[in-house]
Structure 1
């Protein structure tokens, strides 16, 4: 009987590891299959068994968009920041229009944020069911998204964008410095500070379309949550922010550009299994260093661009 109990216990312990190995294999086969399909489309464009790409999109452009979204979302789901902040200016620089880019970015972040939240829960980086602080923070940040979007519309007319960007850059820099200065220290949970930074982050998202991750992720760490929890909560909460923004765009604009939406969403979603696995494997101290450095660099970049 004891032997049977020990065997069952060992099997239960091995199950998560087996699941992750299977997930990595599925991820590798999916990525390889997609790359092979796009490659065959480039070499044999008239083969009917290969599905056509949206519009008149070339396989090379589809592949570049897919890989760009894949890399940016891997960083975003691993550190809680960087997807829209990095990918949006890149797409604008190569010639896409803002009204093409922003709603497609929002759709991609909506799908990947929900996926990342589920996978972070599955990998044990956060527990939205049993951890009251994590659950309440996710609900609080999600609720602030709607308030921030409405506030952005009302106040952005009367607030200088340069002044707003300078204030936000200073907040991000301060949060990054606070995280790096306290790598070995754990803060007491303070929901009031999360409320303040969450409102500022949601407002900033509504005004500029970016800057949500650095503020909310760093703010949660400074407020007492672990970096792994903060990254997972930011992914989930930002998906709700993107839902609000995307709904507004669809009501005004009516449609998305499928040649941009498809590769960005595919690239983002397929990066999630690797990013949540990375968060699980990295130590909390290394995560805190990574979040602090990324927050500091993004704050410096925003301040330099504003000045």
Structure 2
């Protein structure tokens, strides 16, 4: 009571509230859109193992930012949100350590290579990577849905998982997305348990995104700090919730969610690519 009395003797409640409102009004409304975008994107990505790039890019494109700024902002923000997501998945026991070690190094190397090539070759060439990836992931999404409605999906050994991680990391940086849709979809389509696939891929994603973000930072620098801050805060808030959802949802429900998300995202990318010719 004494401390409170001393504080409010120098800072009256009304004056303090007015200062708080004034600071709140100075915040760009775009920040709150980015906060919502980061929260929604990480909630989906942390629970289903994919979707952060798709959702974030869709919302950021509506703000009028150029593609280069969007790519840099998303990778920088995703570095923090994927770190919170990976830590949460680890705490909840959703990580397969052997699979993590297999995916880690190739994924990081692929991400760094993709970011460097994007800088030197330009984003125009990266646009041709997305249609091929979209066709592949759409077929995987259909396969996942088919497996979801089978009585039992036999688990098979995933061959060349390191090459898969390298390709996913490369496409994530060079093509603007692909780590979640490619790696998560392929592993689940082989009959792996979605909970551990999503948790392991999410933890690995932090290191993959870190490599990509640092490369973009060195080559391009960082801009649009308010956009990045909104994505980071929203993503960090959603990460524990998404990890808890991944550990509680039923396997069939998760497979249906992943399959539907992959198909919708793939069709959206293909329609967008086709529309560019008309």
Matched, 1:258 2:225: yes
Q: 2:43 aligns with which of 63, 71, 74?
A: 74
Structure 1 Cα separation of the partners of residues 187 and 21 of structure 2: 46
**Do the aligned residues in 2 keep the contact of 1:84 with 1:105 (CA within 8 Å)?**
yes
Q: What's the CA shift for 1:144?
A: 3.4
| Counterpart position of 1:221 | 188
RMSD across aligned C-alpha pairs, in angstroms? Answer: 3.0
| Counterpart position of 1:141 | 107
| Counterpart position of 1:171 | 136
Q: What's the CA shift for 1:280?
A: 1.0
TM-score, normalising length from structure 2? Answer: 0.80
Q: What's the CA shift for 1:250?
A: 2.2
Q: 2:27 aligns with which of 15, 32, 57?
A: 57
Structure 1 Cα separation of the partners of residues 212 and 103 of structure 2: 20
Range with bigger deviation, 117-126 or 221-230: 221-230
Q: 1:50 to 1:162 in 2, by over 3 A?
A: closer
Range with bigger deviation, 243-252 or 266-275: 243-252
Secondary structure (helix, strand or coil) at the match of 1:114 reads helix
Q: 2:238 aligns with which of 271, 280, 283?
A: 271
Structure 2 Cα separation of the partners of residues 86 and 149 of structure 1: 20
Q: 1:282 aligns with which of 243, 249, 273?
A: 249
Structure 1 Cα separation of the partners of residues 117 and 159 of structure 2: 21
Question: Which sections of structure 1, spanning at least 5 residues, go unmatched?
Answer: 1-43
**Do the aligned residues in 1 keep the contact of 2:61 with 2:70 (CA within 8 Å)?**
yes
Structure 2 Cα separation of the partners of residues 85 and 253 of structure 1: 22
Structure 2 Cα separation of the partners of residues 249 and 190 of structure 1: 31
Q: 1:287 to 1:53 in 2, by over 3 A?
A: same
| Counterpart position of 2:162 | 195
**Do the aligned residues in 2 keep the contact of 1:139 with 1:237 (CA within 8 Å)?**
no
Secondary structure (helix, strand or coil) at the match of 1:270 reads helix
Matched, 1:83 2:52: yes
**Do the aligned residues in 1 keep the contact of 2:104 with 2:165 (CA within 8 Å)?**
no
Q: 1:103 to 1:126 in 2, by over 3 A?
A: same
Q: Which has the higher contact order (CA 8 A, sep 6+)?
A: 2
Q: Could you report, residue by residue, the CA deviation over 1:56-87 in whole angstroms, capped at 9, with x for unpaired residues?
A: 533x4322221221111101111111112121
Q: What's the CA shift for 1:45?
A: 10
Question: Which sections of structure 2, spanning at least 5 residues, go unmatched?
Answer: 1-14
Structure 1 Cα separation of the partners of residues 134 and 187 of structure 2: 17
Secondary structure (helix, strand or coil) at the match of 2:156 reads coil
**Do the aligned residues in 2 keep the contact of 1:85 with 1:211 (CA within 8 Å)?**
no
Q: 1:225 to 1:207 in 2, by over 3 A?
A: same
Q: What's the CA shift for 1:147?
A: 4.2
Secondary structure (helix, strand or coil) at the match of 1:259 reads helix
**Do the aligned residues in 2 keep the contact of 1:121 with 1:127 (CA within 8 Å)?**
no
| Counterpart position of 2:83 | 114
